[in-house]
């Protein structure tokens, strides 16, 4: 076994995991605060140190160096705010990085103001996500706009340079034609449009899932808003999103059996504050807490007897796996634990999530911890450990830890006047 090295960054004692499969010789039990500092800082590096050098955008994953992701960049922009506030970078460094991203977003491929899922970070040209998905992606654009508006609220009106950045964000936001994606006035939003294949993807956006933010932003738009009926008929499916059943004695207000993958309770709620959020269909704090508890309890029960599942090692969500990629959930359980699932649920289940972080770091860190925080996923039954990082998995870690600690990203997005108006329009209280 190689000699263990210990050094200090930001006043935090760190362990160097060296040698494949070796356990740390010394385990320094960091306080909760220092452990969260460490996880946020290391994961933040994915969005700053590893950002695309030309565009500043977030790379889709660590192995696709020129492919950048619109939704993942939205998460990365929110991570930039955390990086500044936590002292990982200076405010000047953060705004300079934002400026590079805006330069790219203003000139890259867009369709009716909507960005593709994937782009070349060098040229700004669309990279097809699938055969007919080579145009606009409304949901990924919503994740991007969520990040842009959160950043807009963070920037200073009184600073001329930051005011100019705010104005540029406004122009991008106001250019998104949300209403056009009703496909001529249908009572539902559509996910994709392609200049080559038109509406052939034919994917209506219906809940309950990660797409709630898409409808909130569409209702909030100052230039291209949707009618409230599009939300109630489209996303809510005339109330069919309501579940109301109990699993393991825990009521699930919305969604599919056993709740689905945990990113349903993360992506829209990086900026939307669920703590007092309610509408006709659910209290969203209850929804997200109970969704998380059901997911964890399923892992504890472990009906398929996968190796490694426990009260401290849990969390099923979309990620890489030993076969490639899947949206893991209790109804699609392949034996894959994805660290972002438990970690990004920390606002909902702080005690359980902190124990999971400690388990991932101290018990599995020699195989799971790397340059940009925890690797994407692992399957101990298959003796498989990912070497990948994905923007859409790393981003919620930084953001949701911060929301647990300070509520900062929630407070920022919810302070946007358009969001307040959109939520009111859809019948939300908060």
Cα separation, 163 vs 158, whole angstroms: 7
Q: Which pair of tokens denotes residue 76?
A: 């990365």
Cβ burial, residue 346 (10 Å; 0-12/13-18/19+): buried
Nearest to 399, CA basis, from 271, 254, 279: 271
pTM of structure = 0.94
Q: Which pair of tokens denotes residue 268?
A: 């829209």
Asked whether 240 and 169 are in contact (CB, 8 A), the reply is: no
SS3 content of the chain, % helix, strand, coil (to 5): 45, 15, 40
Asked whether 210 and 219 are in contact (CB, 8 A), the reply is: no
Residue recorded with tokens 């500043």: 56
N-to-C CA span, the chain: 54
Asked whether 42 and 375 are in contact (CB, 8 A), the reply is: no
What are the residue boundaries of the structural domains of the chain, listed by start? 1-30, 31-426
Cα separation, 3 vs 423, whole angstroms: 56
pLDDT digits (tens, 9 = 90+) for 195-210: 999 999 999 999 999 9
E strand segments, 328-413: 369-370, 373-374, 378-379, 384-385
Cα separation, 259 vs 265, whole angstroms: 9
- Model pLDDT, residue 50: 98
Q: Which pair of tokens denotes residue 372?
A: 């940009």
**Cα 308 to chain center, whole Å?**
25
Asked whether 334 and 279 are in contact (CB, 8 A), the reply is: no
Largest CA distance in the chain: 66
Q: Which pair of tokens denotes residue 309?
A: 């599942």
State the virtual CA torsion across 374, 376, 380, 382 in degrees, nearest 10.
-150
pLDDT digits (tens, 9 = 90+) for 266-276: 999 999 999 99
Residue recorded with tokens 């009572």: 187
Q: Which residues pair with 370 in a beta bridge?
A: 373
Roughly what angle, to the nearest 10 degrees, separates helices 350-358 and 32-48?
A: 70
Q: Which pair of tokens denotes residue 283?
A: 């209290």
Asked whether 179 and 226 are in contact (CB, 8 A), the reply is: yes
Residue recorded with tokens 């969203």: 284
10-residue block means of pLDDT along the chain (430 residues)?
Answer: 34 42 55 98 98 98 97 98 98 98 98 98 98 98 99 98 98 98 98 98 98 99 98 98 98 98 98 98 98 99 98 98 98 98 99 98 98 98 98 98 98 98 98
Q: How is 263-306 classified by DSSP, letter by letter?
A: GGGTGGGGTS--TT-B-SS-BHHHHHHHHHHHHHHHHHH-TT--
- Model pLDDT, residue 27: 52
Question: Is the CATH number 1.10.10.10 carried by domain 31-426?
Answer: no
Give me Rg for the CA atoms of the chain. 21
């Amino acid at each position: 076994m190689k000699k263990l090295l210990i050094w200090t960054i930001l006043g935090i004692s760190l362990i160097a995991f060296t040698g494949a499969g070796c356990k740390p010789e010394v385990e320094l039990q960091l306080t909760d605060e220092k452990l969260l500092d460490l996880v946020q800082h290391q994961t933040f590096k994915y969005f700053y140190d590893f950002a695309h050098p030309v565009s500043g955008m977030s790379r889709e994953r660590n192995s696709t160096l020129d492919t950048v992701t619109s939704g993942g960049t939205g998460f990365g922009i929110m991570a930039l705010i955390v990086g500044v506030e936590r002292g990982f970078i200076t405010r000047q460094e953060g705004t300079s990085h934002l400026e590079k991203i805006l330069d790219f977003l203003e000139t890259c491929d867009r369709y009716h103001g909507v960005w593709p899922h994937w782009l070349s970070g060098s040229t700004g040209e669309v990279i097809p996500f699938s055969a007919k998905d080579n145009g606009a992606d409304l949901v990924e654009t919503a994740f991007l706009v969520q990040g842009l508006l959160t950043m807009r609220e963070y920037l200073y009106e009184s600073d001329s340079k930051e005011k100019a950045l705010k104005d540029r964000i406004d122009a991008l936001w106001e250019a998104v034609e949300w209403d056009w994606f009703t496909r001529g006035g249908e009572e539902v939003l559509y996910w994709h449009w392609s200049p080559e294949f038109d509406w052939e993807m034919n994917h209506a956006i219906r809940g309950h899932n990660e797409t709630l933010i898409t409808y909130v932003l569409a209702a909030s738009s100052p230039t291209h808003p949707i009618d409230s009926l599009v939300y109630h008929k489209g996303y809510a499916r005339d109330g069919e999103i309501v579940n109301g059943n109990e699993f393991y004695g825990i009521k699930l207000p919305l969604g599919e059996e056993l709740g689905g993958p945990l990113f349903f309770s993360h992506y829209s709620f990086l900026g939307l504050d669920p703590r007092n959020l309610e509408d006709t269909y659910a209290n969203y704090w209850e929804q997200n807490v109970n969704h998380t508890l059901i997911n964890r309890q399923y892992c504890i029960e472990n009906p398929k007897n996968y190796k490694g599942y426990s009260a401290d090692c849990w969390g099923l969500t979309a990620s890489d796996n030993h076969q490639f990629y899947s949206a893991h959930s209790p109804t699609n359980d392949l034996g894959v634990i994805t660290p972002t699932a438990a970690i990004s649920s920390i606002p909902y289940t702080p005690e359980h999530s902190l124990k999971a972080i400690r388990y991932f770091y101290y018990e599995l860190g020699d195989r799971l911890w790397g340059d940009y925080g925890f690797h994407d996923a692992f399957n101990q039954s298959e003796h498989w450990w990912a070497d990948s990082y994905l923007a859409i998995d790393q981003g919620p870690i930084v953001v949701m830890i911060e929301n647990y600690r300070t509520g900062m990203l929630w407070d920022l997005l919810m302070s946007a006047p358009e969001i307040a108006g959109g939520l009111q329009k859809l019948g939300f209280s908060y």
